[in-house]
Amino acid sequence: MKSSDPLSEKVEQLHEEVRMRLKEKQSHDQIFKSLEESGLEPYYIKTVIQNVEDEKADKKSFRNSMIMGLGYIIGGIIINIFSYKFAVESGSFAFYIFWGIVAVGIVTIIRGFILYRK
């Protein structure tokens, strides 16, 4: 939900400007000097740059958590299938269920969502 507060809109515009400049591969010093010329306080500029960098790192962490979680879940299911097939082929009624691997995958995905929402 977007805020209609003019100050919030200005802050969001500033964040977007920093995002664009980082995508253009400008250094932090170049961004800092450019924003300082527009009359912003140095401590505020550093805070905005750090916030944008943190957002970028959080998105990367979220993506990595999703990939790892799905890997654990798929790996755990495959191991369970092979365990069951091996038990059936050997005539046994008992087989190992590796539910822990699947549970770790689910927890990893949930953790990723929690970090992303933070």
Q: CB–CB of 114/80 below 8 Å?
A: no
Domain that holds residue 43: 6-117
User: CA–CA separation, 98 vs 95, rounded Å?
Assistant: 10
Q: Please give the tally of structural domains in the chain.
A: 1
What phi and psi, each to the nearest 5 degrees, are found at residue 26?
Answer: -75, 145
What's residue 104's pLDDT? 94
The answer to whether residue 33 is domain-embedded is yes
What's residue 4's pLDDT? 66
Two structure tokens written together for 31: 């961004």
The answer to whether residue 59 is domain-embedded is yes
Q: CB–CB of 101/75 below 8 Å?
A: yes
* pLDDT one digit per residue (tens) for the chain, 118 residues: 455 677 788 888 888 888 888 888 888 888 888 888 888 888 888 888 888 888 888 888 888 999 999 999 999 999 999 988 988 888 887 878 888 999 999 999 998 888 777 6
What phi and psi, each to the nearest 5 degrees, are found at residue 38?
Answer: -85, 0
The answer to whether residue 1 is domain-embedded is no
Two structure tokens written together for 6: 């003019």
User: CA–CA separation, 70 vs 113, rounded Å?
Assistant: 13
The answer to whether residue 22 is domain-embedded is yes
